[in-house]
Amino acid sequence: MDGWVDGRWEWQLRWRRNRFEWEVSQEHQLLQAIENTNFQRDQVDSWSWECEPSGMFSVKSAYTTIYDSSSLVGETNVPYFFWSIPAPSKVHYFMWRLVNSGIPIVDNLIRRNITLEPQQTLCPFFKSDAETVSHIFCTCPLSDKVWKQCLSWINCPSPLPMQGTDWGLQFQGSVQPIAMKHEVTILELSK
């Protein structure tokens, strides 16, 4: 049990289940991070938000902290561009997950140490190319047909991007808001 030993707080972590092998190193990292925390025996604990001088949490300071520290897609403006598109919040959330590699596509699952059989790593439609965000949303023959058909509905025959994040850059500043709304609707339909 956690407690004071020789005037120092001693951590003894207990878990509800046995840890996976990859979690052991994370536990060691956690212990190293909290090891030098100085606890005061006769002091009451309190919460403090370090991102605000007053120590008080606010959504604005959390947003500013995340916005300032993010390097989502290199130096492009894509991560912030799609938030201004007039679209349902579920589309904004999907785009946010897309540019942050949060869509559960094979390359993202492998990056998170999820083991898959070789046949599970291929495109679910044609079983020829690896399932990546770029393939599923841009280079797959099926998605190519879907995008071309949807773009023809709004009379917007443009070359298709090769990367998922290029969709926002392709249309940024060059399409009127009504067409931008249709582009987001197309993104929503493609899910």
pLDDT digits (tens, 9 = 90+) for 76-134: 445 566 777 788 888 888 888 877 778 888 888 888 888 888 888 888 888 888 888 88
pTM of the model: 0.43
pLDDT of amino acid 178? 39
Among residues 189, 160, 191, 181, the alpha carbon closest in space to that of 82 is found at: 181
User: Is 84 within the bounds of a domain?
Assistant: yes
User: Is 11 within the bounds of a domain?
Assistant: no
What phi, psi does 10 have (nearest 5°)? -110, 125
pLDDT of amino acid 10? 81
Question: In which band, very low, low, confident or very high, does the pLDDT at 170 lie, cut at 50, 70 and 90?
Answer: low
User: Is 63 within the bounds of a domain?
Assistant: no
User: Is 9 within the bounds of a domain?
Assistant: no
CB 167 within 8 A of CB 187: yes
3-state class (DSSP) for residue 67: helix
Helices 177-190 + 141-153 axis angle, to 10 = 150
Q: Which domain holds residue 151?
A: 78-190
User: Is 26 within the bounds of a domain?
Assistant: no
